[in-house]
Structures are given as C-alpha cells and as structure tokens.
Structure 1
Amino acid sequence: MPDAIFADPRLALVYDAFDGARDDLTAYAGIADELGADRILDVGCGTGCLAILLAAKGRSVVGVDPAEASLAVAKAKDGAAGVTWLHGDATTVGAIDADLAVMTGNVAQVFLTDDDWARTLRGIRGALRPHGHLVFETRRPERRAWEDWAADPARLTLDVPGIGPVEQRREVTGVSLPLVSFRYTYRFLSDGAVLTSDSTLRFRGRDEVAASLAAQGYRVLDVREAPDRPGREFVFVAERPPG
C-alpha cells in the first residue's frame, strides 16, 4: 500500500511543490547517456518528473508506480504523452527489453522485507534485456540521516499554485534499525484540512545491497556518490548478465 503522500489525491497534488528542485534527475539523465540507454524503465516513477525528462530527450520510457493518485498527476503534465504509464510495481511490468531501469529518491528503501526487495530485483531483472543496467540510490546508514530529520522538524509553508498555502511538518516517529519511520503532516490553510502521511524506510549497508544484487543475478559494476548529496548516498550501477 503506497504512503498517503503518494496515494491520497490531495497530497499527491502538492508533492512536487514540497519535493523542490530535483537536482538528482540531471545525474540520472547523464547516466542514461553514459550507458547509451534508449529504452528506460522508471520504477516508482511517482509524479513522473524523471520519466518526462527522459522522454523529452527522445527515449522510450515506461513509468510504473503503485499509487494511482501520483500517476494521475504525472499524466496531466506537459510531455506526459511521451511516456507509457503503468499502474503497478516492478513485479508486474514483465519483459520489456529495457536498456536501463532506475529507482530514484527513496524508492529502493521502501521495500522493508528481504522478500519484497528480492521480488522487486527479480521483477526488474525480468524487464531488462541481457546486459541491461539497473541504477538506483540508497542512503548510507552510517550517515544517520534520521538524526538530522529529528533535529529539524522542517516546518515549511508554500503557496501551491491552484491550491493555496499549505504547511508541511516532519517528525521522526520511530527508529528500530534498519527501519526508520517518520510522519509528514500537511495543513491546508485555505480550509483548515489536516492530512498526515506515515512512511518507513529500510537502511541497507553497501555490502548488504551488493549481496542482494548478486543473489538475484546482477553484477555490480560501480558504486558511486550521489552528486547532489555527496557522502550521504550510494548510487549502485548493476548489470543483468545474459542468461
């Protein structure tokens, strides 16, 4: 079940405003260029920012997400017609001979159990062509990002076009490593409505991620820094070998 921030229609409409400038997306577009990827699968595409960016460069792009409200936002954007949108997850895509699959933001960390993560990796592997690539980011556990979140409640009010002023507040609600839970509370000042979204992420170490990829038949080619968050994340570049 997707978190409310993605699945609730009213929250999905304000997601992009609070997500801010997606500086990380340029890096993924650069990786697609580096790997010569023409057919790309965006797993957990959300409101479609990366999928639309990649499609605008002439690539064939499939965006898949389990949250219908987020997909509705994505489909309403300029350039959305250039993307094939699927309601589902990596396990439902099937064999599409993708050159590259990506998971941006926190997508790789929403799979809380080993089984869910393994199923996701298998689903992506099945969607890739032989020698296709999987690229994703995941937060470094040793950086202990949750401590920064707890120290900064990140109360922010934005005037969202077409909606009006909305206040967002974040709080960490639980730390039981490797799981960290947090809550976003949104107050719509135009009518006083208050909506909350609870999330939990799993923090996997570098060796654990590498082992999980190997177990599902991938070959890890590189582990990089996230250029927009140096020292905070790993960016894994893996290949699906033939067979």
Structure 2
Amino acid sequence: MADAIYADRRLTPVYDALEGDRGDLPAYLAIADELGAERVLDVGCGTGSLAIVLAESGRTVVGVDPAEASLDVARAKDRSGRITWMHGDATAVPALGADLAVMAGNVAQVFLTGDDWSRTLLGIHAALRPGGCLVFETRRPERRAWEDWAADTGRTVDVPGVGTVEQHMEAIEVKLPFVSFRFTYRFLADGAILTSDSTLRFRDRDEVAESLVACGFRVLDVREAPDRPGREFVFVAERVAA
C-alpha cells in the first residue's frame, strides 16, 4: 500500500508544492543522454516530475506507480498525452524493450523485504532490452540521514487551490536496516491534520550490488548524486542477456 502522501487525494497536491525544484532530476536526464536511452521506464513515477522531464527531451516514456492519486496528478501535467501511465508496480510492466529504467528519490528503499526487492528487480529486468540499464539511488546507511530528520523544524508552503499547509517530519523508529518516520500536515484553511507514515530500508553498497547480480544485472558503476555528494549511492546496472 502506498504511503498517504502519495495516495491520499487531499495530500497528493501538497507533495509537489513541498518538493519544489527537484535538483535530482537533471542527473537522471544526463545519464539518459550518456547512455543514449530513447525508451525509458520510470518505476515509482509518483506525480510524474521525472517522467515529464524525460518526455520533454523527446524520449518515449512509461511511468508506473501503485498510487492512483499520484498518477492523476501526473496525467494532469502530461498535457501532450505522450507518456504512458500505468497503475501498479514493476511486476505489472510488460516487456517494453526499454533502454533505461529509473527509480528516483526513495523508491528503491520502499521495498522492505528481500522478496519484494527481488521481484521488483526481476520485473525491471523483463521490461528492459538486453543491454538496457537500470539507474537508481539509495541513501548511504553510514550517513545516518534519520538523525537529520530528528532535527527537522518543519516547513510551511502555500498550495494552489488548497491554501497554507504546515509540514513537520519526525523519525518514529530506528531499527536498522529499517527506519520509520512520520510527516504531519496541518491545513490552515480548516485546521485539518493528516499524517503519512513511511518506512525505508537502508541497504549497504555490497548488499545492493549482490542483489542486482542475483537478478540478472551487471553493475557498471556506483556514483555520487551530484546534488547530494556523500549522501547517496547511484547505481548504474546493465541487464545481462538471458
């Protein structure tokens, strides 16, 4: 089940307003250029920010996400109607012969069990052409991002059509490799308070690499995230022909 921030129709419009300018997206576009990728699968596409950028660069894009409310926001952004939006997860995607699959943000960390992670990787493997690549980021466990979350002082944004919304974030449980946290949203227009709880799994570099190899990939590179040096691993893995 998707977290409320992605699935609750009152919260979903707040997500984009809080995210603002996505400094991580140009790096994915640059990698798509580097790899010469023309057909791209965006796994966990959410409200479509990355998919839109990729499509605007002339690529054929498929976005898949389990949260229908997020997909509704994404479809509204896709004014040209050129992107294929799919409700589901990577296991529901057909063989696309994609050149590239991406998982931006925290997507790779929402798969909490080994089985869920493996099924996702195998679904992506099937959607890629032989030699196609998977690119995704995952937070470095040693960076201990949850300690920054504990110091969060909150944010306030004005959301078009909604009004002013206050957001506060707190880590509610750290039991590695799992970290759970809660976002609380207060809508000043009517005083409503909604929450969205999330849990991420923090895998180390070797664990991620081994899981990729086990699911038919070859790790080509592990990079820094240009906008967050020292905080993320960015994996570039190639589908090995079956």
TM-score w.r.t. length of structure 2 = 0.99
Once the two structures are superposed, residues 18-73 of structure 1 have per-residue CA deviations (whole angstroms, 9 ceiling, x without a partner) of: 11210110000000000000000000000000001110111000000000000001
Aligned to 1:151: 151
Supply the distance in 2 between the matched residues of 1:197 and 1:80 (Cα, whole angstroms): 32
- The alpha-carbon distance between structure 1 residues 220 and 134, as it changes in their structure 2 partners (threshold 3 A), is same
Aligned to 1:77: 77
Aligned to 2:186: 187
Give the C-alpha shift of residue 80 in structure 1. Answer: 5.6
SS in 2 for 1:82: coil
Aligned to 1:33: 33
Aligned to 1:196: 195
1:208 aligns with 2:207: yes
Give the C-alpha shift of residue 188 in structure 1. Answer: 0.6
Aligned to 2:21: 21
Give the C-alpha shift of residue 78 in structure 1. Answer: 4.6
Q: CA RMSD in A?
A: 0.8
Supply the distance in 2 between the matched residues of 1:171 and 1:138 (Cα, whole angstroms): 20
Amino acid at match of 2:25: L
Once the two structures are superposed, residues 142-187 of structure 1 have per-residue CA deviations (whole angstroms, 9 ceiling, x without a partner) of: 00000111122x3111111111100001011000000000000001
Aligned to 1:112: 112
Amino acid at match of 1:183: R
- The alpha-carbon distance between structure 1 residues 98 and 78, as it changes in their structure 2 partners (threshold 3 A), is closer
For structure 2, the residue ranges without an aligned partner over 5 or more in a row are none
SS in 2 for 1:116: helix
SS in 2 for 1:222: strand
Judge conservation of contact 1:52–1:80 (CA < 8 Å) in 2. no
Supply the distance in 1 between the matched residues of 2:79 and 2:23 (Cα, whole angstroms): 19
SS in 1 for 2:94: coil
Once the two structures are superposed, residues 98-147 of structure 1 have per-residue CA deviations (whole angstroms, 9 ceiling, x without a partner) of: 00000000000000000000000000000000000000000000000001
Aligned to 2:103: 103
For structure 1, the residue ranges without an aligned partner over 5 or more in a row are none
Amino acid at match of 1:227: P
1:165 aligns with 2:152: no
SS in 1 for 2:34: helix
Supply the distance in 2 between the matched residues of 1:122 and 1:20 (Cα, whole angstroms): 32
Give the C-alpha shift of residue 79 in structure 1. Answer: 3.8
SS in 1 for 2:10: helix
Supply the distance in 2 between the matched residues of 1:78 and 1:85 (Cα, whole angstroms): 10
- The alpha-carbon distance between structure 1 residues 55 and 88, as it changes in their structure 2 partners (threshold 3 A), is same
Supply the distance in 1 between the matched residues of 2:11 and 2:109 (Cα, whole angstroms): 21
Amino acid at match of 1:60: T
- The alpha-carbon distance between structure 1 residues 86 and 78, as it changes in their structure 2 partners (threshold 3 A), is closer
Point out the more displaced range, 79-88 or 58-67.
Answer: 79-88
Judge conservation of contact 2:13–2:159 (CA < 8 Å) in 1. no
Judge conservation of contact 2:171–2:182 (CA < 8 Å) in 1. yes
Point out the more displaced range, 233-242 or 76-85.
Answer: 76-85
Once the two structures are superposed, residues 176-227 of structure 1 have per-residue CA deviations (whole angstroms, 9 ceiling, x without a partner) of: 0000000000011001111100000000000000000000010000000000
Aligned to 1:63: 63
Report the count of equivalent residues: 242
SS in 2 for 1:10: coil
Identity of aligned residues (%): 74
Supply the distance in 2 between the matched residues of 1:225 and 1:16 (Cα, whole angstroms): 25
Supply the distance in 2 between the matched residues of 1:183 and 1:20 (Cα, whole angstroms): 20
Aligned to 1:42: 42
